[in-house]
Amino acid sequence: MAVTKVVMPKLSEQMEAGKVIKWLKKEGDRVQSGDILAEVETDKADVEMEAFGSGVLRKILVSAGDKAPVGALIGVIAEEGDDINAVVAQAGGGAPSAAASSAGAKPAMADRPAAVPPQPKSEDHAERTPSPSKGPESPGIRRAQETVAQQPVVTEMAPRPQAPAAADGGRVKASPLARKIAAQSGVDLKLVHGSGPGGRIVRRDVEAAAAAPAAAAAPSAAAPSPALRPVTPTVTGPEYEDVALSTMRAAIAKRMPLSKAPVPHFYVTSEVAMDRAWELREELNGLEGQPKISVNDLVIRTCALTLLHHPGVNASFQGESIRVFHRVHMGIAVALEEGLITPVLRDAHAKTLAQIAVEARDLAERARQRKLRTQELSGATFSISNLGMFDVRDFSAIINPPEGAILAVGSVRKVPVVTDEGLGVGRRMAMTISCDHRVMDGAMGARFLQDVKRLLEEPLRLLV
């Protein structure tokens, strides 16, 4: 009865395209609304994608490993015998056809004749014997109604308003559930007609919109296949190769200039005597039953406590105002094979060293397994990037907007130091804060750093 389009969902604010990691259903499998269809890689995490309609997964248009823009058709759910050719053909703008992607990667639509939809054999029968319910009417409207017909109650009764819900003003009236489904299925609520009271968009409207061939063309240009050529050791091989961007690398490439160019960075560097902090950490880690504390855990706790006294550094530029945060949500940069990710340790100021150690390790581990939830990846008020494990003396980091500052931490090194008695050996750690000059000035950054240094040099304070 119903043809449901499976589209690349918009799973985060920044997401513009996603990669299908794998399909958990194959063509011909029966699916229920709510079943997990596939795993999708976004710029930040791997996410399971649900089916929003029931029937048979008739067609997979983007194979595992391929990318598609948000909103692009990547599969079709319909009953056996339903005609899905029109839907597949309409997909034109959005996704590579099954043929194209499995044939190994043409850069999408530009050179594909949009008018020639794939005609899989299995559909021939249905083609020749259309069910009597199928009229020649406009396929879009027809399909919208067919999808809704899964809930027979609803379909015939409600009159369909003429204008989209947003027509009479800026705000779109939609039920909370409709909003949630729209966000997950990539439907633009502004283009949906609401059938509820006062034009409210409700679930069935969104499902109908997701099932109907999109009125607005899906974003164009699918990504090229990331397949690499085999590396040949001979001198006759190619001089270079172009490696396709991973989703995460693409996101980093896009976001970093958005920080570095418009945000006026300035940098303040300081050096901390880490001898006492080092001893304290050794002593803590010698205690049985205690979680292992890393140097970075000490830095996180120190910064979190210090930020409470320097709210101006725990702040974000908002255009017309500066938002000063009263809680510290600490972004912790985690290096991954293919890039980096900054999970957020919430309310770091209110947590003990042990809590911070356990949570930071859990976040880092799940970041590496790409199992972080999207809400664990946003909302930081300040970030820390630590390259100490790579034996880096010091470096400066790029601010992660809308945060106002980030602290770059180097390794703890044994160095010769001048003491009252002469020359000795001490442990030193350099740290550099990058600050948004629109939010704060050099002295503010310096004072903050000074207090961080003091606290780390009197580390017993971290325990009280």
Give the list of residues 6+ apart from residue 61 with CB closer than 8 angstroms, or none.
Answer: 73, 74, 75, 76, 88, 91, 95, 96, 97, 98, 101
DSSP helix/strand/coil, 320: coil
Give the list of residues 6+ apart from residue 251 with CB closer than 8 angstroms, or none.
Answer: 14, 43, 44, 339
Give the list of residues 6+ apart from residue 97 with CB closer than 8 angstroms, or none.
Answer: 61, 88, 91, 112, 117, 118
User: Closer CB to another protein, residue 51 or residue 100?
Assistant: 51
Min CB(349)–another protein separation in Å: 27
- Spatial distance between the Cα atoms of 68 and 247, rounded to a whole number of angstroms: 11
Catalytic annotation, residues? 437
Min CB(178)–another protein separation in Å: 7
Min CB(153)–another protein separation in Å: 4
- Spatial distance between the Cα atoms of 208 and 148, rounded to a whole number of angstroms: 6
User: Closer CB to another protein, residue 200 or residue 361?
Assistant: 200
Min CB(62)–another protein separation in Å: 28
User: Closer CB to another protein, residue 175 or residue 269?
Assistant: 175
Give the pair of three-digit tokens for residue 410: 């180097």
Min CB(156)–another protein separation in Å: 8
Pairing of strands 422-436, 265-273: antiparallel
* Residue 61 burial (CB count, 10 A): 27
The site for another protein (CB under 8 A) is made up of 151-154, 156-159, 175-180, 195-197, 202-204
Q: What are residue 398's DSSP bridge partners?
A: none
- Spatial distance between the Cα atoms of 447 and 455, rounded to a whole number of angstroms: 12
- Contact present, 433 and 449 (Cβ < 8 Å): yes
Cα(first)–Cα(last) distance of the chain, in Å? 66
- Contact present, 342 and 259 (Cβ < 8 Å): no
User: Closer CB to another protein, residue 159 or residue 238?
Assistant: 159
- Contact present, 334 and 362 (Cβ < 8 Å): no
Min CB(146)–another protein separation in Å: 15
User: Closer CB to another protein, residue 197 or residue 230?
Assistant: 197
User: Closer CB to another protein, residue 89 or residue 154?
Assistant: 154
User: Closer CB to another protein, residue 158 or residue 387?
Assistant: 158
- Spatial distance between the Cα atoms of 189 and 201, rounded to a whole number of angstroms: 8
Min CB(197)–another protein separation in Å: 8
